[in-house]
Amino acid sequence: MTEDRAKRKRSKLWMLVLPTIIGGVVLFFVLPFLETPRRLVMGMFGINPGREESKSISAVPEIPCPGPFEVSADIENAPLLQRDEVAKQYVGIQVDWTGRLSNIDKLDADRLDLQVCVTRSWVGTVCYFAEIKSADYPGIGLLKTGDRIRMQAYIKDAHPGRINLRDAKIIR
């Protein structure tokens, strides 16, 4: 009788342990392919906050242009009375920049002002600002501070550490 009881105990134990092990193995291999609901919804609206470690290939090619640090440094390194002239050289240049969302201000019912910053530990932070229509990006309200954004636009005006853009389009 005791042998029969021991077999039943082992059988019950395996009925609990085996599904747990199988479930763990399946989750280990499946979880990396699942996306959070926030990312799924944002993808439906064409907005992807991205991750620094993911190197996704976009269908829209990047435009060769000066980076925000180059623009800011060029203006900052110019003699004080020549800064305005150096800044004017950048007005109208098309840019394709990627940075981290810092803030969104509501200008009115259908216009938003995005503040996107790029930080380099050895240089500092440069922020660029762009006005967009909220109707063009219905999922914009799901973005959080620090989300990665790629933007194509034209330089409206520039100052050391701050660049204003016009005709901005969020790419991802």
Q: What is the mean pLDDT of the chain?
A: 80
Local confidence band at 28 (pLDDT 50, 70, 90 cut-offs): low
Q: Tens digits of per-residue pLDDT, 93-141?
A: 999 999 999 999 999 988 999 999 998 887 789 999 999 999 999 888 8
| Bridge partners of residue 94, in order along the sequence | 154
pLDDT tens per residue, range 48-64:
545 443 344 445 555 56
Dump the DSSP string for 1-33.
-HHHHHHHHHHHHHHHHHHHHHHHHHHHHHGGG
- Predicted local distance difference test score (pLDDT) of residue 41: 47
* Angle CA 143–144–145, to nearest 5: 135
Query: Are the CB atoms for 58 and 116 separated by under 8 Å?
Result: no
- CA-CA distance, 65 to 46, in Å (whole number)? 24
Is 69 in contact with 121 (CB distance < 8 Å)? no
Is pLDDT above 90 for 82? Answer: yes
Identify the residue with better confidence: 20 or 9. 20
Is the pTM higher than 0.85? The answer reads no
pLDDT given for residue 18 in this prediction: 72
Residue bearing tokens 């242009």 = 65
3-class secondary structure, 121: coil
pLDDT at 57 (0 to 100) = 41
